[in-house]
Amino acid sequence: MVTGAAGFIGSNLSKRLLQDIPNICVVGVDSVTDYYDVNIKYGRLREIEKLGGRWSFEKVNIADKEGLDALFEKYSPSVVVNLAAQAGVRYSITNPGAYVESNLIGFYNILEACRHYGVEHLVYASSSSVYGSNKKVPYSTEDKVDNPVSLYAATKKSNELLAHAYSKLYNIPSTGLRFFTVYGPAGRPDMAYFGFTNKLVKGETIQIFNYGHCMRDFTYVDDIVEGVIRVMMHAPEKQTGEDGLPIPPYQVYNIGNSSPENLLDFVSILQEELVRAGVLPPDYDFESHKELVPMQPGDVPVTYADTEPLERDFGFRPSTPLREGLRKFAIWYAEYYKQSK
């Protein structure tokens, strides 16, 4: 079961599972909210359906406990990948209720369903935002993460705490994945690279926060999906401690490119690739469309993943170069919006 299956990562994961794993049955769950353009979400679902295979889609909100329990009763999933969440740091400042409903109540419902329906492994999306304003880089899963700077980050840290408690109390194997700035084709329009592109196409000015002095560990979506698939195949081992009680079968990993990019360099590469793909004209005046502005509430100056544990345990580290990933995005953007016109 993949929750958030109409989302950016969930749809890409569902496609990979259906393409690569013989005889797999994938149940996609999504409430298809209008947080951003639902046409993109339905387009992703159509791409999954084209693959055929044993795919079922259920339009259910994970905050609806009865509806979610009915799905677990119907399908009895052995592995659950929870990617359903209200995303976005800035939106959480003005719309906190959406985060409490999806990221806290919804996640609690997922944990309860895993407990009562014998799920063998719960994999769930956490976020690099849990590191808050930590000064030590790269960010390690061994670091303390007790000072979130946004409600979104606080809900993701809460997910990790709840999962740990359920792993301890009910011996449910769970793995949390802290994703670092995911990007790629058919991504979320509220992400910087997508929003910048929309504004540049309209001739509007883009705002670059912290006067351009931000570093982000941009991670291409295919690398994220590869990491999720490797992790979901290997649940943390159930063990009993000296006290006769379960040792929580619980892990957390970073999935990031471990190669932070300066935001100004990122924008330059994006612009070059948009021109190359024909999204913008060759003589586009970029300088007149850039505005350097202060840091926004909830933002952090740097994200940088320590992925050594992921490499040690699963033999994988993300490695797609930023230019390659942005080139694929620019090509998709040109094609998608040409069709939609």
- Token readout for 205 is 């000015």
Distance CA 287, CA 281 (A): 14
Beta strands in 151-269 (DSSP E): 174-179, 182-183, 206-208, 215-216, 219-220, 239-240, 246-247, 250-255, 261-262
Token pair, residue 155, equals 């809900």
CA dist 200 and 206 (Å) reads 7
322 within 8 A of 261, measured Cβ to Cβ: yes
Cα–Cα distance measured from residue 295 to residue 242, given in angstroms and rounded to the nearest whole number = 49
- Is-catalytic flag, 124? no
- Can you tell me the distance from the alpha carbon of 91 to that of 264, in angstroms, rounded to the nearest whole number? 23
Buried b (16+ CB within 10 A) or exposed e, 200-211: beeeeebebbbe
Contact by Cβ (8 Å): 69, 113: yes
CB 271 within 8 A of CB 290: no
185's CB contacts (< 8 A; 6+ apart) are 221, 328, 329, 331, 332, 333
Give CA angle at 206 (340, 326), nearest 5°: 60
Instruction: From the candidates 131, 152, 166, 304, give the one annotated as an active-site residue.
Output: 152
User: Which residues partner with 174 through β-bridges?
Assistant: 122, 250
d(CA 136, CA 122): 29
Which residues partner with 25 through β-bridges?
Answer: 54
- Strand segments, DSSP code E, in the chain are 2-3, 25-29, 54-58, 79-82, 121-127, 174-179, 182-183, 206-208, 215-216, 219-220, 239-240, 246-247, 250-255, 261-262, 290-292
Catalytically active residues, by annotation: 152
